[in-house]
Chains A and B, each alone.
Chain A
Amino acid sequence: DAKTTQPTSMDCAEGRAANLPCNHSTISGNEYVYWYRQIHSQGPQYIIHGLKNNETNEMASLIITEDRKSSTLILPHATLRDTAVYYCIVRVDSNDYKLSFGAGTTVTVRA
């Protein structure tokens, strides 16, 4: 699976959009981009995933660049409850179902 690079931490104001970048320059054509988050003392939570098209669900939007070498997770209106570690993961959808978590980005939403 391709490796990802994310900023270590970022702050965001409550009510504003939070844009979380992820670089995955070695991604291959059959690898998906997944985002999970882990709120303190809880298990990780799935947010969204995509292959090459932009995706949106009730939690977030995922913007993938045309060359697929980077992506951005957008939390449209951040709340204090969005404070968490956000993980960007790329993986092939194959019989190997594991998720390989990196260090992620610690996002702190401030009032």
Chain B
Amino acid sequence: SAVISQKPSRDICQRGTSLTIQCQVDSQVTMMFWYRQQPGQSLTLIATANQGSEATYESGFVIDKFPISRPNLTFSTLTVSNMSPEDSSIYLCSVALKGAQYFGPGTRLTVL
């Protein structure tokens, strides 16, 4: 299994600012995923981050708004840029390892 930690666990931010969320995994993994969870809705995939290559963004998400770094096989960051209240959500990091998918605890973001 994989143990995933995220920082911060929650934050309250002013509109127009940016927040970087960190995701740390206790195993080396090729594929890491960033999701957004709105209350009572399905998880929405933002992007897939493979080490050593550019992240692949899903429709509706762009690199300028959600830049991602993947410097090594155990770490990734997602930045939510120029935030607005519509970005208030829980952001989850996830990894695929040996045919299973594991999720981090999430970062609860509130934008005022």
- Verify that A and B bind, or say they do not: no
